[in-house]
Amino acid sequence: MSDINRRTLLRGMGAAGATLAFTGLASASDGSAQYLLRSNGNSIERRLRNTDFALRHELAEGDVAVVTGPADAADELAGVRQVSSVTRDVTVELELPEVDAEPSSTPGEDAALRGLQWDKDLMQVGDAHEVATGEGARIAIVDTGIDLDHPDLGNVNADLGRAFVANDDVPEIGPDDSGYHGTHCAGIAAATGEVGVVGMAPEAELVPIRVFPADGGATFGDILAGIDYAAEIGADAANFSLGIPGVQQPGADINKLRANVQRVFQSAVRRGTVITGSAGNDSGNLQQGGGLTLPNSVPAVITVSATSPADTLSFYSNYGTSDIEVAAPGGWYETIPRTLGETGEPGDIPFPLNGVLSTWPTTLSSSVGLAGYDFISGTSMAAPQVAGLVGLVRSLDPSLNANQVESVIKQNAEGTNGSSGTEFGAGRINALNTVESLR
C-alpha cells in the first residue's frame, strides 16, 4: 500500500511504508487456486460448466474474469473455448514498518484542524470551494474500507459500499474499514469538515469498496473487481492508493498481470470513471529501462507523485516522465534530514505535522492525540487529492468524459513547463485554477 507510516522513516532505503508485499499465489476461501483470464467473448460462466473451475468476478464488460479451481491447472483452463490467456493471481499483504522516529511537536487539544491542512492551502482549496464543492459527484475509494461512523465522513453511501475479499476474516463489517488506510484516503478526497478536517470535494458522495481483510492479503482479482464495480455504479472517480513495491522490470513474472489490469481499467474509463493511483514510494525511476509499477503503470490511470510543503518532490516518491501524470501533496520533504528538522528553511513545518492530516478510524488511537485524525505521508495521500479534484470538475461539468477531465486537471496544474516533467508530470495540481477554468 502506497503510504508511509506517520512515525517511521527507514533511513538508507529512500522510502518507507505500509506497502504491499507478495505473500504468495492467490487462493479462494475454500483453498482453491485463483486465476485471472482474458476471454474472447461473453458467457464465460457458461463455458466453465462441466469443468473444475468456478467464476468469482466477470470484469471489463466480459473481457476479463477471476476464476477459481485446482492448483497447477492453468493449461486446462487455457483450453476452455475462447480463453486467450491465463495468469495465476497473486496475493499482496500490508507490511507495517517499525517505529523509527518520534514526533518533534504535536498540536494542542484546541488546535484548529483546518489550520493544519497545509496541503489544502497549497492547492488553494479554500478559494476553490467558493466555486465548487463536489456536489453531485461520486468518489469510490478502493482500499481497506471507510469508517462508517466518522463525524467528518457523513457523506459515505454505505448502501452502495461493497467488500470484494477472497479470504474475508471480517465479513460482518461489510465496507467498513478493516484497517485505517481507506479512511485516511477518503478524508483527503472528500471529508465534509463537519468537525475537524475538510477534503478536496466535501459535498461529493463517497463509496467504500473494501478489498482487504483485517488480517492478510488482497488479491489482484479483488482489486480489479473493486475498480470494475466503481465504474458499474457510475463513480466519477475511483481512487486506489495501492501498488506493488519496487520498480518492476519488463520481464518480471508479475508483469504478466499487466494486460488484465489494463483491460479492466480501460473499460472503467470508457464508462466514464476517472481512475487515480499512487506512483509508489520507492524513490524509483519509472522511466529508465522500462521500469513500472502495478497496477499504476497503465495508460488508463492518472498516476500521481507526491510533493512536500515546499513544493518539492517528496524523498520517497517514484518519478519518471513515462508514468507521472500530475503531482499532489503527499507529505514530508525532499530529504529525510529536512523532514526531521535537522536541516531546512525558515518556516518549515515540523515533523510529523509536515505529513498529511486526514480522517482516522475513531476506534484507533492517534499518534498525535487527536481522536479521529492523524498524519500520514506517502503517494497514497497524493492520489486522493486528485480524486477529489475530479469530483470538483465533474460537479461543474458532468458532461466531460474521463479523458477530458484529466486534460482539464493537467492544463491547470502548476510548477512545470509543459506536460512532461520527470517529477511532477504536468505539474502539481491547483484546485482554484482548475475550477475557475470551467466557469
| CB crowding 402-421: b at 16 or more within 10 Å, else e | beebbebbbebbbbbeebeb
pLDDT of residue 125: 96
Is there a domain that residue 95 lies in? Answer: no
Q: Are residues 65 and 134 in the same domain?
A: no
Q: Does residue 36 register a pLDDT over 70?
A: yes
Measure the CA–CA gap between 40 and 414, rounded to whole angstroms.
Answer: 43
Q: Are residues 198 and 282 in the same domain?
A: yes
pLDDT tens digits, 252-300: 566 677 788 889 999 999 999 999 999 888 887 776 655 556 656 667 8
Q: What total of structural domains would you count in the chain? A: 2
* Cell 483527503 belongs to residue: 188
Measure the CA–CA gap between 256 and 237, rounded to whole angstroms.
Answer: 26
The DSSP output letter for 353 is T
Measure the CA–CA gap between 377 and 180, rounded to whole angstroms.
Answer: 13
The range of the structural domain enclosing residue 65 comes to 27-88
Q: Are residues 117 and 84 in the same domain?
A: no
Measure the CA–CA gap between 275 and 237, rounded to whole angstroms.
Answer: 6
Q: Which of 19-23, 81-85, 163-167 has the lowest mean pLDDT?
A: 19-23
Angle at 70 between CA 67 and CA 76, to 5 degrees: 80
Cross-strand partners of 39: 83
Distance of CA 350 to the CA centre of its chain: 26
Q: Does residue 108 register a pLDDT over 80?
A: no
Instruction: Exactly one of 143, 168, 177, 222 is catalytic; name it.
Output: 143
Of all residues in the chain, the percent with pLDDT exceeding 90 is 62
Q: Indicate the pTM of the whole model.
A: 0.90
Instruction: Exactly one of 181, 278, 323, 367 is catalytic; name it.
Output: 181
The SS3 of residue 64 is strand
Closest CA relative to residue 153, chosen from 433, 384, 422:
384
- Could you tell me where the DSSP H helices lie in 233-318? 258-270
Q: Are residues 423 and 310 in the same domain?
A: yes
Per-residue cell: 227: 475498480
Residue pair 246/285 in contact by the 8 Å Cβ criterion: no
pLDDT of residue 33: 92
Closest CA relative to residue 152, chosen from 377, 330, 371:
371
Measure the CA–CA gap between 394 and 289, rounded to whole angstroms.
Answer: 37
Q: Which of 6-20, 110-124, 144-158, 300-314 has the lowest mean pLDDT?
A: 6-20
Closest CA relative to residue 100, chosen from 314, 370, 336:
336
Is there a domain that residue 154 lies in? Answer: yes
Q: Are residues 223 and 191 in the same domain?
A: yes
Q: Are residues 76 and 118 in the same domain?
A: no
Mean pLDDT of the chain: 86
Domain of residue 84, CATH code = 3.30.70.80
Residue 143: which pLDDT band, with cuts at 50, 70 and 90? very high
**CA–CA distances in Å: residue 32 to residues 88, 90, 188, 227, 260:** 12, 13, 38, 24, 21
The SS3 of residue 259 is helix
Is there a domain that residue 175 lies in? Answer: yes
pLDDT tens digits, 195-226: 999 999 999 999 999 999 998 888 889 999 99
Rounded to 5 degrees, φ, ψ at 186 are: -60, -40
Domain of residue 375, CATH code = 3.40.50.200
pLDDT tens digits, 166-200: 889 999 999 999 999 999 999 999 999 999 999 99
Is there a domain that residue 21 lies in? Answer: no
380 is catalytic: yes
Residue pair 261/219 in contact by the 8 Å Cβ criterion: no
Measure the CA–CA gap between 32 and 28, rounded to whole angstroms.
Answer: 5
143 is catalytic: yes
Which residues have C-beta within 8 Å of that of residue 290, sequence separation ≥ 6? 249, 250
pLDDT of residue 93: 60
Instruction: Exactly one of 32, 367, 380, 395 is catalytic; name it.
Output: 380
